[in-house]
Structure 1
Amino acid sequence: MKICTITCHDVYNHGASLQAYGLMKYLSNCGHDVEIIDYKPDYLSNHYNLWSINNPKWEKNMLTKALYLTLKIPVRIRERNKKIAFDNFTTKFLKITKSRYKSNEDLKKNTPHADAYLCGSDQIWNCLHKNGKDPSFYLDFVPDEKIKASYAASFATDTISEAYKPVVKERVERLDAVGIREKSGVEILHSMNIHEAVHVVDPVFLLDKEDWDPIGTRGFKEDYILIYDFDSSHLIKKIAMEIAKEKGYKIYTIHSGKLKYADKYFTLDGPETFVSLVKNAQFVISNSFHAAVFSVLYERQFAIVNRTEAINTRMRDLLEDLKLNDRLVDENYDLIRLLRSIKYKESKNILNEKISFSKNYLQGVLSIKK
Structure 2
Amino acid sequence: MNNIYVSTIIDSYNYGTVLQAVATRDVLSEYGKPYFIDYCRPDWTSIGLRQIYLRDKHHNPAINLLRYCVAFPNLRKNKYIFRSFVERQLDLVDSTPYLEGGPFDANAIYCVGSDQTWNEELNKGIDPVYTLMHVPQYMKKFSFSASFGRPSIPDREATMMKPLLEQFTAISVRESSSVKILNDMGIKTGVALKDPVLLCRPQLWHELSENVAEMSQSYVLIYMLNENPRMVEYARLLASSERITVRIIRFNRTKPVPSGCEPIYQPSPEQWVACFRDAKYIVTDSFHGTCFSILFQKPMIVFNPPRYSIRLSDVLKDFGLTERRVADDESISKISIASDPIDWNHVNNAMSVFQTQARNFLKSVINIEP
Which whole-Å CA distance do the structure 2 matches of 1:153 and 1:305 have between them?
A: 24
Gaps of 5+ in 1: none
Question: Structure 1 residue 47: deviation in Å?
Answer: 7.8
Structure 2 counterpart of 1:224, from 219, 223, 236: 219
CA contact (8 A) 1:111 1:141 kept: no
Question: Structure 1 residue 332: deviation in Å?
Answer: 2.0
CA contact (8 A) 1:282 1:301 kept: yes
> What amino acid is aligned across from residue 170 of structure 2 in structure 1?
A
2:174 matches 1:181: yes
Deviation per CA, 1:225-254: give whole Å up to 9, x if none: 111112111221122121111112211122
Question: Structure 1 residue 162: deviation in Å?
Answer: 1.9
SS of the counterpart of 2:353? helix
TM-score (norm 1): 0.90
CA contact (8 A) 2:231 2:303 kept: yes
Q: Give the structure 2 partner of residue 73 of structure 1.
A: 69
Which whole-Å CA distance do the structure 1 matches of 2:8 and 2:250 have between them?
A: 22
2:314 matches 1:313: no
Which whole-Å CA distance do the structure 1 matches of 2:200 and 2:12 have between them?
A: 22
Which whole-Å CA distance do the structure 1 matches of 2:220 and 2:157 have between them?
A: 41
Q: Give the structure 2 partner of residue 39 of structure 1.
A: 39
Which whole-Å CA distance do the structure 1 matches of 2:220 and 2:195 have between them?
A: 24
Which whole-Å CA distance do the structure 2 matches of 1:256 and 1:264 have between them?
A: 13
Which whole-Å CA distance do the structure 2 matches of 1:366 and 1:127 have between them?
A: 28
Which whole-Å CA distance do the structure 1 matches of 2:48 and 2:247 have between them?
A: 24
TM-score (norm 2): 0.90
Deviation per CA, 1:64-90: give whole Å up to 9, x if none: 2xx643454244214422322212211
Question: Structure 1 residue 45: deviation in Å?
Answer: 2.0
2:6 matches 1:5: yes
Structure 1 counterpart of 2:281, from 280, 283, 288: 283
SS of the counterpart of 1:252? strand
Structure 2 counterpart of 1:251, from 246, 255, 260: 246
2:201 matches 1:204: no
2:140 matches 1:140: no
Pairwise mapping of residues 1-370 of structure 1 onto structure 2 (< 5 A)? 1-28=2-29, 30=30, 32-46=32-46, 49=49, 53-56=54-57, 60=61, 64=62, 68-97=64-93, 99-101=94-96, 104-106=98-100, 108-111=101-104, 115-130=108-123, 133-217=126-210, 218=212, 219-256=214-251, 258=255, 259-261=257-259, 263-309=261-307, 311-330=308-327, 331-332=329-330, 334-370=334-370
Residue correspondences, number: 360
Which whole-Å CA distance do the structure 2 matches of 1:245 and 1:286 have between them?
A: 18
Alignment RMSD (CA, Å)? 2.3
Question: Structure 1 residue 255: deviation in Å?
Answer: 3.5
Question: Structure 1 residue 164: deviation in Å?
Answer: 1.0
CA contact (8 A) 1:228 1:285 kept: yes
Q: CA 1:21–1:253 in structure 2 vs 1: closer, same or farther (change >3 Å)?
A: same
> What amino acid is aligned across from residue 275 of structure 1 in structure 2?
V
Which whole-Å CA distance do the structure 1 matches of 2:230 and 2:41 have between them?
A: 36
Q: CA 1:317–1:117 in structure 2 vs 1: closer, same or farther (change >3 Å)?
A: same
SS of the counterpart of 2:227? coil
Gaps of 5+ in 2: none
SS of the counterpart of 2:110? strand
Question: Structure 1 residue 273: deviation in Å?
Answer: 1.3
Amino-acid identity (%): 24
SS of the counterpart of 2:216? coil
SS of the counterpart of 1:163? helix
> What amino acid is aligned across from residue 159 of structure 2 in structure 1?
P
SS of the counterpart of 1:133? coil
Q: CA 1:366–1:47 in structure 2 vs 1: closer, same or farther (change >3 Å)?
A: farther
Q: CA 1:169–1:229 in structure 2 vs 1: closer, same or farther (change >3 Å)?
A: same
CA contact (8 A) 1:48 1:83 kept: no
Question: Structure 1 residue 104: deviation in Å?
Answer: 4.8
Question: Structure 1 residue 120: deviation in Å?
Answer: 0.3
Q: CA 1:353–1:74 in structure 2 vs 1: closer, same or farther (change >3 Å)?
A: same
Which whole-Å CA distance do the structure 1 matches of 2:113 and 2:320 have between them?
A: 25
> What amino acid is aligned across from residue 174 of structure 1 in structure 2?
Q
Bigger mean CA deviation after superposition, 260-269 or 294-303: 260-269
Which whole-Å CA distance do the structure 1 matches of 2:64 and 2:162 have between them?
A: 43
Which whole-Å CA distance do the structure 2 matches of 1:303 and 1:140 have between them?
A: 40
CA contact (8 A) 1:189 1:195 kept: yes
Which whole-Å CA distance do the structure 2 matches of 1:142 and 1:94 have between them?
A: 21
